[in-house]
Amino acid sequence: MPWMPTDIPFPPTSEFTPPGGEFVVGEIDDAVVACGGIRRIPDSPAGLVRYEAKDVWVDSSIRGQGLGRRLMAELEVRAVGLGAREIVLDTHEVLEAAMKMYVALGYESVPPYNDNPNPTHWFAKSLG
């Protein structure tokens, strides 16, 4: 049975509207095949404006075609447009392909930046 988190603390949708954030949905032939959002969180310890990538998902039927990379690139562009200097995310170790993608995109492992009980890994990337 695949890993499923319990008691998932979903952020309010209001956190994904400008200027505090944005949410992106990818469709093919009117079917949702990918999504992800960014939301403003407290500045980094170094004082950088920081956004968090959340709820990044690509339908299993089209994984491996680069859509996850394009989605992350779009989220990063939107974060910069909102003033971000750093983007962070958390994930669980069972999502091996996602973790490999984040590292390939330049994300680096960092200590936990939140108290979310579900992830096992935290990542950050400088946005300039």
CATH at 21: 3.40.630.30
Whether 6 maps to a domain, the answer reads no
Could you tell me if residue 8 is inside a domain?
no
pLDDT in tens, the chain (128 residues): 444 445 555 677 888 999 899 999 998 898 999 999 999 999 999 999 999 999 999 999 998 899 999 999 999 999 999 999 999 999 999 999 999 999 999 999 999 999 988 999 999 999 98
Q: Kindly state whether residue 3 falls inside one of the protein's structural domains.
A: no
C-alpha–C-alpha distance, residues 52 and 75, integer Å: 10
In a 10 Å sphere around its CB, with 0-12 CB exposed, 13-18 middle and 19+ buried, how is residue 14 labelled?
Answer: exposed
Number of domains in the chain: 1
pLDDT score recorded for residue 112:
96
Residue-range definition of the domain harbouring residue 88: 16-126
According to the model, what pLDDT value does residue 12 have?
76
Structural domain contains residue 9: no
User: Does residue 89 belong to any structural domain of this protein?
Assistant: yes
CB 42 within 8 A of CB 49: no
Q: What pTM did the predictor assign?
A: 0.88
Residue 93 lies in a domain: yes
pLDDT of residue 3: 47
Encoded tokens for 103: 């590292």
User: Would 11 be classed as within a structural domain?
Assistant: no
Contact, 38 vs 21, CB < 8 A? yes
Residue found by looking up tokens 């505090």 in the block: 20
Q: What would the two tokens of residue 102 be?
A: 């984040």
Give domain status of residue 29, yes or no: yes
